[in-house]
Amino acid sequence: MSLLASYTVIGAKASEDLARKIATKLGAKYIKSELRIFPDGESKITINGKPNGKIVVVQSVPYLGYARQDKEFLQGEVITMSLVANMFKAAGATKVIVVDIHSKMALNHFKITAKNVSAIPELVKYFKKLHLKNPIVVSPDLGGITRARDFAKLYGTKFIALKKYRDKKTGVIEIRSKNQKHVKGRDLILLDDMISTGGSIVKAAEFLKKQKCRNIYAACTHALLIGDAEKRIRKAGVSKIISTNTIPGKTGLVDVSPIITKAIV
Ligand code: R5P
């Protein structure tokens, strides 16, 4: 742990609150930045101060954008994650810390040190305080099985993963799981890495409600909640959405600044 190192934290526009929290924990100088968007869409960034020591830039883009484009799913698709990863190196970054990146494959595209930190332990701490009734962790898809397993292990409960099918051309989602009768009467923690349009959570919640579960809590690291996602998720029977503050918003109840700070020093 480099206790003697001095840091400057630059808070970029999308993550000012998180950046300030990290600066406080590091005992670092904090510099605000300004973003101006021109009519043609070009952006101009101004850093309002002189950084010294090690420089930490905190920015959600709005989580790690393009991480879902980590491979060629359909022939001809460009692996844009690779370009994004290269841009960090080109910009002079020597280390990247990301929170719950969509896949480990996305992490492999970086040519500089790239560390993924997990918000799961912090989310578990939050859920422990809710005193749920006989809870079970549910991943809306098989891709999230490790995440659900890790959460369930820390919480001290069981987990299941549903079979989600997404048409790669139309984006239409279907749950193709068999009935999950054992969720009956139990509180559910429906866990995903991100909620974007809410489509995955809505389909999973509708399916689980039919299995006569008790309350459904949606948990994720990155809550984008695009458009009317929140409204549709509630309408599908979800009592509460809980996310971290990687993206500012009213569901961001779990602070990830301690785990990011720990990964910096
Ligand atoms: C997909 O594999 C991801 O883990 C999320 O399930 C997905 O990105 C969520 O997107 P949406 O809210 O639009 O269904």
For the CA of 173, the closest atom of ligand 1 is 14
**CA 65 → CA 25, 62, 201, 212, distances in Å?**
26, 6, 20, 36
**Residue 194 has what pLDDT?**
96
Within the chain, all domains assigned CATH 3.40.50.2020 are found at 7-118+256-264, 120-254
User: Is the Cβ atom of 194 under 6 angstroms away from ligand 1?
Assistant: yes
Atom of ligand 1 nearest to the CA of 198: 12
Ligand 1, atom 2: nearest CA belongs to which residue?
Answer: 143
Q: What pLDDT does 4 receive? A: 63
Architecture per CATH, domain 7-118+256-264, reads as 3-Layer(aba) Sandwich (3.40)
Of all residues in the chain, the percent with pLDDT exceeding 70 is 98
Q: Separation of 232 CA from ligand 1 center, angstroms?
A: 15
Is any ligand 1 atom within 6 A of the Cβ of residue 193?
A: yes
CA distance 243 to 253: 6
With a 6 Å cutoff on the Cβ, whether 199 touches ligand 1 is yes
Work out which ligand 1 atom sits closest to the CA atom of 195: 12
Residue 213 C-alpha from the chain's centroid: 26
The answer to whether the CB of 143 is under 6 A from ligand 1 is yes
- What is the pLDDT at residue 103? 87
Strands (E), 59-152: 95-99, 113-117, 136-139
Per-residue pLDDT, averaged over 74-84, amounts to 96
Is the separation of the CB atoms in 18 and 58 below 8 Å? yes
Mean pLDDT of the chain: 95
Task: Establish whether residue 192 lines the binding site of ligand 1, counting it when its CB lies within 6 angstroms of any ligand atom.
Answer: yes
Q: Report how far Cα 204 is from the mean position of its chain's Cα atoms.
A: 18
Say what the pLDDT of residue 244 is.
98
- Contact criterion met (CB below 8 Å) for 107 and 74: no
200 CA → ligand 1 middle, Å:
6
Q: What are the tens digits of pLDDT across the range 37-77?
A: 999 999 999 999 999 999 999 999 888 999 999 999 999 99
Query: Cβ distance 187 to 217 under 8 Å?
Result: yes
pLDDT in tens, 109-144: 999 999 999 999 999 999 999 999 999 999 999 999
The structure's pTM equals 0.93
From the CB of 162, is ligand 1 less than 6 Å away?
Answer: no
Spatial distance between the Cα atoms of 260 and 265, rounded to a whole number of angstroms: 9
Q: Which fold has domain 120-254?
A: Rossmann fold (3.40.50)
> Is 80 exceeded by the pLDDT of residue 2?
no
| Residue with the larger pLDDT of the pair 174 and 4 | 174
CA distance linking residue 196 with residue 237, whole number of Å: 17
**pLDDT, mean of residues 30-38:** 97
Mention every residue, 6+ apart, whose C-beta is less than 8 A from residue 165.
173, 174, 175, 176
Taking the CA of residue 224 as reference, the ligand 1 atom at the shortest distance is 12
Question: Which mutation among 73, 104, 174, 195 tests ligand 1's pocket best, with the greatest number of atoms within 8 A of CB?
Answer: 195
Q: Decide: 198 in ligand 1 pocket, CB within 6 A.
A: yes
> Would you name the residues annotated as active-site residues?
164
pLDDT at 247: 96
Q: What is the pLDDT of residues 167-190, one digit of tens each?
A: 989 999 999 999 888 999 999 999
pLDDT for the residue 5: 75
pLDDT at 3 over 70: no
Residue 79 reports pLDDT greater than 60:
yes
